[in-house]
Structure formats: C-alpha cells, structure tokens
Amino acid sequence: MKVLKFGGTSVSTHKNLQIASEIISKEEEQFIVVVSAFSGVTNLLVDAIEDALKKKESYKKKIDAIEEIHIKNIHQYVPISSQNKVISFLKIKLNELGDILEAVYVLGEKTNKTINKILSFGEMLSSNIIYEFFQAQKINISLVDAQNLIYTTFLENREVVNEKKTEIESHKFLDNISSKVILIPGFVATNELGETTTLGRGGSDYSAAIMASVMNASTLEIWTDVSGVYTANPVYVTKARPVEKISYLEAMELSHFGAKVIHFPNLYSLMEKKIPIYIKNTLSPDDKGTEIGFNDQDNPKEIVKSISYIEKIALLTLEGTMMQGMPGFSKKLFEILYQHNINVIMTTQASSESSICFAVEEAYATIAKKAIDKYFSYEIALKKIRPLNIEKGLSNITVVGDGMKNHQGISGKIFSVLGLNNINVVAITQGSSERNISFIINNHNIKKALNVLHEEFFEEGVRQLNLFIIGLGNVGGKLVDQIVQQKDYLKDKLGLKIRVRALANSRKMLFEKGEKIDLTQWREGIENADEKMDLEEFYKKIQQLNLRNSILIDNTANEAIANQYSRYLEKNVHVVASNKIACSGNYEIYKNLNYLSKKYGASFLFETNVGAGLPIIDTLNNLVDSGDEVLKIQAVLSGSLNFIFNTYLTGEKTFEEVVKLAMEEGYTEPDPKIDLSGIDVVRKILILARESGLELELNDVEIEDFLPKECLETKDNDSFFSALKKNESHFKKIIETANKNDSQIKYVAELVGDKAKTGLQYIEPTHTFYNLKGSDVIVLFYTKRYSQQPLIIKGAGAGADVTASGVFADIIKIGKK
C-alpha cells in the first residue's frame, strides 16, 4: 500500500488530478490518497470567521467565493450526469456553514469547537468532488471520512493524536475495503468527545503521515508546490537547491526549526517502521524531489544538508544569584511555560548557572513574562532574581546535518562567516547529537545570514561581491567596462561573482530594482535614472538591502563622500577608494578608519591613492608587516606632472597646451590645478609616511611651489589656463635651466626619517629618475634591508585605465580575502 497526499496553495486542481491519475494507473498496489482543500478555500474560511466575529456581514461574501471555487471545479471535473448530485451536496454543506458563521456573527464569539468545524469544510467539499472525478475515470475508489479513522485525545492540556485508537479504527474501516484507491480528506479528525477537530499547520500532510504509519505503507509521497526540502528558503536564497536525500533525524530537526515543507509530528514512528517519504513537486513531476529515509553513510561529503530559520522570535532571559546551584530551578521555569502552552524553540544556560535564556515565538513573550514574573514575584522583590528580560525582533537560524557530528570546524566556519559580515549572534545552542547548531540573530540580518551561510556550505567556493559605485567619470566609467569584460573570468577562475547593485554620479543614482543593472548600457541607464543623487539616501538604501560582501567604491575627489566612509565600515560595508581625501586629511580620521576596518572586519583599501594601478602601498605594507624599517622614500608620484614636463621639454607646445593635452588624455584631475599645485603629490607622500607608521599631518609636508601665485589664485579652469598662457615665460625659464644642465625636470617627493617634502628637481643623467618617460611614476624604498640598493617600483602612474585596474584589484583582493 502506498499513501499519496496532494495539495499546495499554488497548485491547480487539474495538476493534482493529472499526477494522481498517472501514478494510480501505472501501479497495481492499493493507494490511500489524502487531499487538501482547494487552493484559497482555507484562507477564505479563516477570513469568514474573523468577519463574523467582528460583526461584518462580509463573511457571506466569503461563503459566496467558496461556492464559486467549488462550482468551477465541479463543472470542470465532474461528469454532467453527476453534477446535480454534487452541487446539491455542496449547497447543503454551505448552508450548514452559513448557519454556523451566522451564530458566530450573532453571538460575537468563537470556540475551538466552532473553529474546527468551520475549517473542516474545505477538505470535506474538495474530497467529494475529487471522488466523483476518479469515479468518472473508471477508477475503483472508496471515499472514507477521516473522522472515522483519525482520533485525538487531550494529554496535559494539549490535543494530540491518539495513535492506538487511530490504528485500531483505521484497520477496522480500511482492511475490508478492496478498492484500488481509498480517498480521505486530510486535516480533519475526531476528538475524544466525538467532535470534529483539526490537525493544525500542515494538517493534510500529517493526516497522510498518520495513515502511512498505522497502515504500514510501503512509501509515503507528499505532492506539493515545491521540489522537496531545499538547502535554504529559495525566497531568500536564490541559489538554494533541493536536497536529494535527508535522514529522518535531519527532517525532525528541520521541521522543529521552521522548514515549512515538513509537517510530520509522527516522523519517529515512520522511522521506526522504515517507511520512506518522498516530497515531490506537482508542478515539476520529473524533478527528483527529496527522499527522507536513513542516511547514506557512503556519502560523507554532505556535512550540512540544509539551513532553516524561524522569524519573529523573542529571547527571554532570567538571571539572579539564587539560581546558582539550586536543583530544580529550570524545571520550575519550564513548567510555568508548559502550563501556559508556550513552546520553547531553543534554550541555553550560562555555566555559572546565574542566568538562563530561551527563545519563544514573539506573540507569546508578554504572556511568558507575566506568568514568570508573577511566579517569582517574592524572589524579585528580594532582588534575588531580576524581572524577566524580553528581547524582540529576532530570528532563529539552524544549520542541520548528520555529518556535522564527526566533522571538526563547522561551528568555526559558521560564526567566522557571520562575523566577517557583521552579523551579531545573540545566543547559541547545540544539541548533544551535534546534528544541529542553532543561534539567534536580529530579524534585519536574516536574508544576509542565510546567503552567507549558503555561500559557505553549498556554493562550492563562489562568493558574490555586491558593488555600489559612486563616480562614473574617467576612472569610474573604465572600471564598469573592465567589470563587464572580466566578470565571467572572475567567476570561472577565482570563484568571484561580481554584481553591481548601484551606480551614481554627481547628479543621479541608479539602484537595482528587481532586474540586474545592464552594465553594457550603464551610461544610458544612469542618464535615464529617476532618482537624484543624495548621499544620505544612497547610504540608507545600502543599509536596507543589507547584502553580504557589500563594497562601496568611491571614484571621486569629493570630500563629502570621503566623510561617509566611517558609517559604511561600521555597518561592515567594505570601502575601496581612489579618493585621497580621507587618507590624507586629518590624521585622527585616517587612524579611525583603519581602526573601524579592523573592528568590524570590513576592508578599507586605497591602493590607487598613490600609484594608480601600481602596488606601492601593498609593497610598503609588506615591508612594514615583515619587520623592515623604512629609512627613506624618494619618488616621482605624479604621472600627470611627469607627462606634462616630459612633453613640455620637447619644445613643441606651450605649457598651457601641454596641460590641456594631459587633461584630455585623462592624466589630470578634472581640476588640473590640483595636480600642478603639487597638493596631489603632497597627499601621496603623506599617505606613504602614514603607512610607514608616522603620525604626520598635511601641513607637516614641506612644499615648494613652481606655479606663479597668479595661477594658484585662479577660481576655475578657464582663468587657470589663461594664467598659464600669460606666464609662459616663467615656464620657459624652467626648461632653459634644465637644458643648460642637461637635466630632466621631475616633481619629486621625499621622506627622510620623519621629514617629508615635495618640489621640482633637476635630475642629472646618472640618477634613476632621469629616464622616467611619459606618465610613468617611480618609488625608491630605502629600508634596513634595502639600504644600499633600494626596492624600486616603476610603471604607469596616471590614466583612467590603470587607475580603474587598481580599484578593480582592490575589489578582487576583498573577494579573495
């Protein structure tokens, strides 16, 4: 005998009947088929009760809607010759339903007896229609009222299935039925008073499981609207996938901790009788689904099977000195909860025995507090116990797998990845079976936590990086283009999935809305965006999304944006900046950003602050971290100034023309005076000094201006270029001096000890800097280990492409961390 259950809120009656007919026609053995109410009917019954209770006559419209659903199914599935009989039965039952709801409406009250009776109508009506359908298919079928089979009893204020009586009555009714199919309405049963009762959440699944157990079925198949038990809830985790097989014990854990597809309180009896359970998808019948049985010991690689969760949890904590060493204290506490029918989801106690905390559904938290505070009122008055503390807005997450028992490091992985994503764990517990690890977190972090855990245990090393890019000029634009070019390579070779969640320029911002941002058309996308750029809103949207591995990328030179970094780091959002302001501004700000980065485990990377795409800061950090000591740094740090003077020395263009050319080529900032004033180089050598361990401020760096005062005092680019043209003779003298001494002109930055300075220098042919061409930059690190021959880094130091590649490298570094 096989037991089949059909239902699912999003599954059509047609699909259920089609699959059921196919299964029954293919096999010779006898079937028990358990059916649910038609889709939407149970919700209408619940709403009708509430309307009647609130004295709203709209409950009558709910009855009309229920009638409409059933009439439609009758016309579609019942032969015309039988329709009048079925419709007559429907009318009688709906009149009965109307009478009960009218009584609720008039009296303004409901009882459990009334609720159960009303809710039973859904399965009663659907089973009658389905019975007529199968008869029309010439299937030998019997319709049996579940109230003659399944019985409940009251056990210490709780209604539970009376398994012994259910088994006796089921065999009494069913053993003599020779029909190939025995059709049973799910969800309904009879209590010890002989009244109609129901089996609660997932009641039809439970009905099927009960029948499978008491009739010693060969298998139990649950046909629903999902393809089995998933590795995580696919609503929250898009990469979740069905698990092919889980053990009975794993299923019990998942059922307790919120897995909605498993509703079998009698799983243990099914396990004892070795009855396998298959959860299948009516909408995708060819999917394998999930088998619940005994674990395959030859497949130890599946250490974690699934991640489950329960939302809207409250954590209750009781603490006090009198709890220490007092036998039976926990017993008293949990007896109080039991007497008030409050289910404890998880519990943990401090080893000092001075406190105990436990999780319950949020709806029961206040009831629990009143009952416990009342019981311990004397001890509370003596201050031996504190009043029960309630913390709401929490969720429970449970990682489940039989293989966890003998596998080291699972808890370390769980809490490490949560910590890296700034997800605070409020409470932790693990059973002695080591089959699950449960913990409590804030509701706000539930989606993020599920995704990072799923990524860690099920996605084979693929890590998704969520990027929020501000600044879409030369550097930002090239960065987006490079991401488009390299995204497939990064996924295949490095296991990094790059997803740009938002783009912003000075005018507009574009956030992903449902569909991914089309990066091949990002320019049109940002131009057509309907949201104005607002730094506060940009920050709020990132916090609302609360995505794992979030990275803010700042490609601007905007001080207001740099001032936001600390907020992001505190929320565990990584920061990658080509913007130099934060690292070269007030030292305390720089120091605090590095502190926040370490405290919250969020990277703060700014390699491009000094050498565009060159690994200058990374090299310096490696020297310092390995115990070397920096004695002196000599550097040409401005690729733009190097390009300008190398080009100007050819004598083919005026200084103004050369600067304009550098600007057109993307070598300078949008305001070229930043480069030519030397302030950009000052910021770079200051950053290197700070990364060397020195506490210097910007005004500690000595700067030798080569621009005339008139050029420095201009207010915009037009007036700046006019001043350059007017002062051409000043720049000619610089060239003449260089040519006279057979020298090159370089803007050099130096750090010797704790003294830093920048300025133009005439470089002789024997110097390393002499042959520095184009926009290249060079850094000489003199250290204790490199005291005679410096460590040299040389290469392209300006340009949108190389700077974007430096930003990209920092992003990849975070992904590989």
Token pair of 386 as six digits: 């504190």
Q: How far apart are CA 88 and CA 92, in angstroms?
A: 6
The beta strand positions in 219-325, using DSSP E, are 219-224, 245-247, 277-281, 290-293, 306-319
Closest CA to 165 of 154, 176, 149: 149
- Region of 136 please: left (phi>0), alpha (psi -120 to 50) or beta: alpha
Of 46, 40, 33, nearest to 3 by C-alpha is 33
Which phi and psi angles does 610 have, rounded to 5°?
-115, -50
Cα→Cα distances 475→139, 494, 555, 612, Å: 72, 24, 6, 10
Residue 457 contacts by C-beta under 8 Å, 6 or more apart in sequence?
231, 303, 304, 307, 399, 413
SS3 content of the chain, % helix, strand, coil (to 5): 45, 20, 35
Considering 15, 447, 448, 684, which one is annotated as catalytic?
A: 684
How many whole angstroms from its chain centre is CA 496? 16
Three-class secondary structure of residue 151 per DSSP:
strand
Nearest to 227 by CA among 202, 247, 244: 244
Contact 524, 541 (CB under 8 A): no
The question of whether 684 is a catalytic residue gets the answer yes
CA 301 to chain centre: 24
Strands (E), 491-595: 496-504, 508-511, 531-532, 550-554, 574-577
Q: Could you give the residue ranges of the DSSP H alpha helices within 608-727?
A: 608-611, 616-625, 639-648, 655-664, 673-676, 679-691, 709-712, 717-726
Q: At what angle do helices 655-664 and 639-648 cross, to 10 degrees?
A: 140
Contacts of 390 (CB under 8 A, 6+ apart): 314, 315, 316, 365, 366, 369
Residue labelled with tokens 């993020």: 448
Residue 799 · residue 667 · CB < 8 Å = yes
Tokens 């597809």, residue located: 261
Q: How far apart are CA 197 and CA 161, in angstroms?
A: 11
d(CA 788, CA 17): 86
Burial class (CB in 10 A: 0-12, 13-18, 19+), 135: middle
Q: Which of 298, 290, 294, 244 is nearest to 274 (CA)?
A: 294
CA distance 610 to 636: 10
Q: Which residues of 28-59 are buried (b: 16+ CB within 10 A; e: fewer)?
A: eebbbbbbbbbbebbebbebbbebbbeeeeeb
How far is residue 284's CA from residue 265's CA, in Å, rounded to a whole number?
27
| Half-sphere exposure in the Cβ direction for 322 (13 Å, CA) | 13
Which residue in the block uniquely carries the two structure tokens 């991914």?
516
φ, ψ of residue 735 in degrees (nearest 5): -65, -45
Q: Is the Cα dihedral 529, 533, 537, 543 positive or negative? A: positive
Give the CA distances from residue 271 to residues 15, 152, 264, in Å, rounded to whole numbers and listed in that order: 30, 21, 11
Where in the sequence numbering do the catalytic residues fall? 684
